[in-house]
Structure 1
Amino acid sequence: MSERTVPDPAASPAVLLGPTALFFGVVSVLGTAVPRLFFLTPFTALAGALALTFGMTGVHYGRRGVGRLWVAAAGAVLGLLGFGAFMSLLIAFAA
């Protein structure tokens, strides 16, 4: 059961977890930080949560040698920042 299902580790879908997390992390941070991109605000919580999820999964696979470790870690950090900024804005406006 420990056989790989793909012939080459570079052909694994886990390789794209890092860049996907980075994309969602950038969308999440820009949606909360740039006032002109205010129309992205409803999507920032979802993008931040997805970036955090994809980033942590990408870090897991990156430590095993499949995928891009630092890109996934950067995406996870940006997702955490974007999600945290959205939640703090939500709490501030609710008070």
Structure 2
Amino acid sequence: MKTTEKVDVREIRRKLGMNQSQFWSKIGVTQSGGSRYESGRNIPRPVQALLRLVHIEQVDIGKIKKDDVEVVEYLKATNPELFKTLKKEARAKRKERVPH
């Protein structure tokens, strides 16, 4: 999910078999706020990023540490080619583990 493309969040939630409270609370959004997003209100970029991480990439954000984020940002800034390569490899590994 890129931040520029329009995504049907309601459809993602339904495919995951979650009600609004379950779905939105995983990323710190109230059910009423999530309902507004599902009805067409623009979703802020930080919320879009959390949606992608939690509900598409299946990342447990409770396990992310500040150091992890700092290392990623440093790697992105100092060696973007290595960062891209590692990112591609990680996606390939994840696809191997997750049945479609």
Bigger RCO of structures 1 and 2 (CA < 8 A, at least 6 apart): 1
TM-score by structure 2 length? 0.25
